[in-house]
Chain A
Amino acid sequence: MSGPIGKPTPYIDGVQKVTGKAMYTDDYRFPNMLYVGLLRSPHAHAHIKHIDTSAAETYPGVAAVTVGTDLPISFGILPISSDENAMAVEKVRYVGEIVAAVAAETMEAAQKGAEKIIVEYDPVRAFIDPGDSLEVCDPAEQIHSHTKGGKNIHKTAELRFNEPEKALEQSPFKRTGSFKFAGVTHAFTEPHSTIAIWNGDETLTVISATQVPHYLHRNLSKVLELPMHRVRVKKPALGGGFGGKSDPFAHEMITAYLSMKTKRPVKCTFSREEVFINNHGRHPTTIDMSVGCDQDGIITALDTDTIIDGGAYGSFGVVTSYYNGVLLQGPYKIDKLGFRTRRAYTNKPQCGAMRGHGAVNPRYAMEVILDMLAHDAGIDPCDLREKNFLEENTVTVGQLRITSNGVRDCLQAVRKKSDWDKLYGKQPYGRGLGIGCGFYISGSALPIIWNHYPQTVVHAKLDFDGRIVMFSGASDIGQGSDTMLTQIASEELGVPMNYVQLEVADTKTTPVDLGSYSSRVTFMVGNAAKMASEKLRNEMAKAIAKEKDVSTDDIVFRDNKIFTEDGAVDISWEDGVEAALAGRGAIVESGYYFSPKMGGDFKGSGAGLSPAYSFGAFISDVTVNPSTGSVKVEKIWAAHDCGKALNPLAVEGQIEGSIHMGLGQAISEDLRYVNGQIVNANFFDYRIPYSVDTPDMDVTIIESNDSEGPYGAKEAGEGPIHPVLPSIGNAIYDAVGIRMMELPITPDKVLAKIQEKG
């Protein structure tokens, strides 16, 4: 690689960000702009008897008022659970659900105006505990009318391969664990924000803090009954997502509607408390999992039964339900495997996708049980894992196609670096090491909305000025996809990165990309960008070859020059551009990515399919204070197989950020509810690790060079979170001999376990 691919590359928007010039949604202001004020429900579950908006309508500064019946068409990220409305219609389903909204001249007038709306409610039984939602209830108490069997179960996902329960019975070693996981939330730093502009040509522009401009585009069109060609969604700089900005949101629908209604620009930005209420975070989860192994430590079977607390609406919940099971098919070979996940509707803010979507909690359970089995069988936990790893180029029991696989190298790297063989099980009481492995999709092979289009298209344009403009719908949310696009064009065309400029994440000017979710961007957009750049290079080469009478294949693009090794061609980039554009003008080339066909033909076989999978192995070093119960993570050795690091600086950043987020869920983060109301909707009470809590991090990038990834690359944004939590849990066992079955692992729980053990 002669260009920037594979080299640590600072972000192209880095200078904008450190100087405060990067423009996030709330930083935009438009002439004559109105502000949104929202009225939210004080009830967890209640019928709306009456809404009186008259006092709000006459409140000074209020330009428009709207209620649920104005926008009765439902929406949702998954067409199969399009169960949300912009504002509650007939019924509220959680404390904080939006019931009405106003647009006003100032933020203050908007808030005060919204408070003037009077709503009469008729409360019904609220379902707070997901266990209650699994029971048959009075139809009048059902949270949604479409749930089946008189229960509040949103989805039951179940797959069974080769009778795992039988194999478990016969296994020499078997462990069953009951695990409980608190809900956690993304807590990105930039609050949700959106601006809608109703244009003079009767089109709608929405600038929004979203990871999924394309799905927002589709849902806006649906809810507002506006043809798709009259909707434009733009994503400016975005202050973190982690899955929390990957749904179309109610406030986006409302803001757009108020702009259409008033024919003025309208802005809505959430307070931090509202961000917490909006949630869409990781589901609170209970897992009963059984795993068996034989005398040699070979896994015989796995069976798991899981309940996830979905909150009041669907979001990504159907996918989450499947991911809780299907993503247990790696990194170990398990031929007898079964799972059932039930997603309960409850009267709480909805849960959805969060970094490592659906696989983080079951991964904890499985890795902890493997640790138990290793001890039962008298095998070192690293050895036991090595015995069970999937090979590369294989297929799992549920027909997931595994291509490149660097998990063995990952494990060996951290095992060596941490001095595991010398230290494991041999340190003084209170200090311990723990291992955890990981496995994750590198992009979902199936689009959310079934269609015949590619998963992404990238255009590369070259004009007389010599700049290359890459047009891509990809959404940089801080993970560095803009830099990746620039690197690829620069690599392929042999020009410095500053010759490459971007038009991104604008559904009017950029071809469709499905969005920044499921760790799909580097793999899919990277491939499409590479194809577009290669085609552009070939077009140039053809023209130059013709003019200079050489073979196209001999022409090299490198170091801002275009040449042949024999010297027959030796021209500057600019001269090459002139030759290529002669007689035709600007060139636009298009690259695309289609996932290959794969998977089984049973119901649910599409879940977890990915063109490639990432792997990892982490070891944590912890100290546990037996008298206070406090856990300090001293160091984490992290090895992640991302195929090929296109930008090692960014890959390291993703791994380090995953460690931070995994650490938070492991030891402190817990979204708490009382009667369905979130009671810690702020950074004082919702405890995120800060700089002083940061452990030492030793990051190793393993490059397995995937045959279908761009330059061999796979994902790095989500996979690295999975091993973090169990490596901490298992290290606590090594330190003080207790098994932590409940997250977060707070000092009170640790103390109780230590005392229980005696």
Chain B
Amino acid sequence: MEKVQLNVNGFPQVVLVGSHETILETLRNRLNLTGTKQCCDEGTCGSCTILMDGKPVLGCLTPTVRCVGKEIVTIEGVSSGDHLHPVQKQLVQNGGMQCGFCTPGVVMTAIPYLKENPDPSIDDIKEGLSGNLCRCTGYKKIIEAVKNAAEELNG
């Protein structure tokens, strides 16, 4: 066990973690931030995506000790319930989620993606989301939601 200082969603705190622990485990099991989902635990589904210094990383492949000194943002840090990010708002309005289990990962992938690619085509969006497994929606409505979010952010 190791004592580390983490900065999660703008709040610095000291946590005792195992040496091989992933940030996904730390978030869910020690910090009770359960919005980040564990689906495969081996880097193949994107459900556990979080932001490290603004860049998306897979929580299940990222050792917690590597998060020290970085700014971590999770789905809980994206918005309060009243002020949804356009990506979130569009996912709701377009039916871009069914069971919702992949959704936090989709949100945490799409937000930084649109920062880097403010005017993506449908094919670009497919490429941008290519690491996210959604078994429910067939992706169509997710892609449309991200497209609409891009327009909203640009408009």
Contact = CB atoms under 8 A, between A and B. Distances in A.
Interface of A: 8, 10-11, 13-24, 26-27, 29, 186-191, 237-242, 271-272, 477-480, 649-650, 652-653, 656-661, 682-684, 688, 690-692, 694, 697
Given A652-B95, A691-B126, A189 B137 contact: no
A460 B35 CA distance: 32
B39 A190 contact: yes
B135 A661 contact: yes
B58 interface: no
Q: Quick one: which of A16, A187, A190, A238 has the most chain B CB within 10 A?
A: A190
Given A272-B39, A653-B98, A20 B74 contact: yes
A242 B97 contact: no
B42 A691 contact: no
A190 B99 contact: yes
B45 A656 contact: no
A272 B139 contact: no
Nearest to B125: A691
Nearest to A17: B100
A480 B142 CA distance: 16
Contact of A20 (B35, B38, B40): B35
Interface string B72-98: 001110110100100011011111011
A480 B95 CA distance: 10
B67 to A, nearest CB: 18
B40 A682 contact: yes
Interface string B36-70: 11111110110100000000000000000000000
Given A18-B89, A18-B91, A19-B78, 7 more contacts: A19-B84, A22-B100, A188-B99, A188-B101, A239-B99, A658-B138, A694-B126
A462 B9 CA distance: 41
A14 B45 contact: no
Nearest to A651: B95
B140 interface: yes
A457 B20 CA distance: 50
B91 A14 contact: yes
B44 A684 contact: yes
A189 B42 contact: no
B21 to A, nearest CB: 10
A683 B102 CA distance: 14
A18 B95 contact: no
B32 interface: yes
A14 B78 contact: no
A692 B132 CA distance: 10
A189 B92 contact: no
Which 4 pairs show the lowest CB-CB distances between chains A and B? Answer: A20-B35, A478-B99, A239-B101, A17-B100
Contacts of B88: 15, 18-19
B112 to A, nearest CB: 16
Contacts of A652: 95, 141
Nearest to A23: B34
B81 A15 contact: yes
B16 interface: no
14 contacts: A10-B92, A10-B95, A18-B97, A19-B81, A26-B38, A188-B99, A190-B39, A237-B100, A239-B37, A479-B98, A691-B130, A691-B139, A691-B142, A694-B138
A656 B93 CA distance: 16
Contacts of B47: 189
A186 B143 CA distance: 22
A438 B89 CA distance: 35
A369 B94 CA distance: 38
B22 interface: no
B32 A238 contact: no
Contact of A691 (B32, B95, B99, B132): B132
